Copies of this chain bind each other. A is one copy, B any other.
Amino acid sequence: MPGRALDGVVVLELGHVYMGPYCGLLLAHLGAEVIKVESPSGDSVRRRRTGDSYPFLMLNAGKRGIRLDLKAERGREVFLRLVEGADVVVENYRSGVLARLGLGFEALRDVNPRVILASGRGFATPGPNAHVAAMDVTVQAMTGVIASTGFPDQQPVKAGIAAADFLGGTHLAAAVLAALFQRERTGTGQAIEVAMQDALLPALASNLGGYFESAGALPERTGNRHGGLALCPYNVYTAADGWVAICCTADRHWLALCGVLGREDLARDPALADNPGRVARMDEVDRAIEAWTCRRTRAECSGQFHRAGIPAAPVLGLKEVVEDPQLEAGGMLSVVEHPGRGPVRVLGSPLRLSASAPLRPAPAPALGQDTRQVLASRLGLGESELDELSELGSSSQTRSRAADVTAPRPERCCQG
């Protein structure tokens, strides 16, 4: 009996780009049936390159895909009928878009009082920026992440990862799960909202700590040093073939490090015995470490540091990450066969639950791939009704788009 935490839970995902789709992906990993509902032209991330883009393939793996035109009355009718049998609707449109389509929370609740509407946003409502268009990089800009990333004497730079999108999507999934749990007691659904900005802010804890504790006197960007300049040693040091990161959070790490470096003089220096003392002489400590690391490879450095119990790591490039046996062992980048694309990598689940079996990796759906099958099985529509629905809503433009998509089985698409 390989049960899963969300067995029987049905999610309609109106997600696009990263935040909504990542929320949907986490729920799918937990066993929910996630039906991705796309507009006639599909999630915009599909089309960033010719053919479905790789990020689309990674973030929508294992979901079912249907195509519905929510701007058309028939599309909205069909959607509301799907809501009747759903547990969760996930969306990350701009604030107000769903309501203007007549699909706000009240409309959903009218057909299903148990439904949970989960909305991902850039900025929380209400608030002066609630209606500002937001993307990962603009939210990073507005939340101090760009100002806090990079070297103090250089231009600020964004975090290389889409931190706002993914912290946003993960928080949104947590909120959905909390609402599902609450519904077990109350019997009713609710509307939930997560703003990327709010989800990003706590991750600035070190930087905010440094800001408040120094009354704003610290440099905004600290390069590879601790965000609040509150720990030492803490930096990324030059090695013979790249860089190596070190982070000493305990005095025993410092003593062990001095041992590896052969610097018993530093270990014996009472002024360096505790973290505040080392912080006060950060430049000197960093120079001593780099004098040692720069003459050794990353592997030599991290090997010796690990054996001494010091938190340290080589700075790995993407090629090394993709080939990392650790990620391989955890199934985090497994290969699936995609119809038309051949083998592609899909993401495993960071949520490892001993009583909820991991999902078997599956490819992302082609646009509208499951429309007929989902509407037939969930709404009981017959062949003639499905045909009519397809004929009704198919413009020549969306027909030709559909033809671009490599679908594993022939079908037409319902757009209402």
A374 at the interface (CB under 8 A from B): no
A306 at the interface (CB under 8 A from B): yes
- Among A25, A105, A150, A165, the most chain B Cβ lie within 10 Å of the Cβ of A150
Of A66-74, A140-148, A288-296, A395-403, the one contacting chain B is: A140-148
A325 at the interface (CB under 8 A from B): yes
Report which of B5, B132, B159, B211 forms a contact with A159, defined as CB distance below 8 A. B159
Would you give 10 A-B contacts (Cβ < 8 Å), ordered by A?
A127-B330, A133-B312, A141-B244, A146-B315, A147-B321, A160-B221, A163-B163, A166-B203, A170-B170, A174-B177
- Among A47, A54, A140, A174, the most chain B Cβ lie within 10 Å of the Cβ of A174
Q: How far is the CB of A283 from chain B (nearest CB, A)?
A: 17
List residues 108-146 of chain A with CB under 8 A from any CB of chain B: 123-124, 126-130, 132-146
Q: Give the chain B neighbours of A174 by CB distance below 8 A.
A: 26, 170, 173-174, 177, 351
Bound: A329/B162 CA distance, A:
25
Q: Which 8 A-B residue pairs are closest in the complex by CB-CB distance?
A: A148-B160, A177-B177, A149-B160, A159-B159, A54-B209, A198-B350, A138-B313, A166-B203
How many A residues face the partner with a CB closer than 8 A?
156
SS class of chain A's interface: helix, strand, loop or mixed?
Answer: mixed
Q: Give the chain B neighbours of A157 by CB distance below 8 A.
A: 149-151, 157, 223-224, 236
A327 at the interface (CB under 8 A from B): yes
Report which of B47, B145, B318, B354 forms a contact with A207, defined as CB distance below 8 A. B318
Chain A 299-321 per-residue mask, 1 if CB under 8 angstroms from chain B, else 0 = 00000001001111111111111
A339 at the interface (CB under 8 A from B): no
Q: Give the chain B neighbours of A145 by CB distance below 8 A.
A: 159-161
A180 and B181 in contact (CB under 8 A), knowing A154-B154, A201-B333, A201-B347?
Answer: yes
Asked whether, in the complex, the Cβ of B141 is within 8 Å of the Cβ of A313, the reply is yes
Of A75-83, A95-103, A185-193, A383-391, the one contacting chain B is: A185-193
A352 and B245 in contact (CB under 8 A), knowing A158-B224, A161-B203?
Answer: no
Chain B residue with Cβ nearest A234:
B137
List residues 1-29 of chain A with CB under 8 A from any CB of chain B: 3-7, 17-18, 22, 25-26
Asked whether, in the complex, the Cβ of B330 is within 8 Å of the Cβ of A195, the reply is yes
Asked whether, in the complex, the Cβ of B201 is within 8 Å of the Cβ of A276, the reply is no
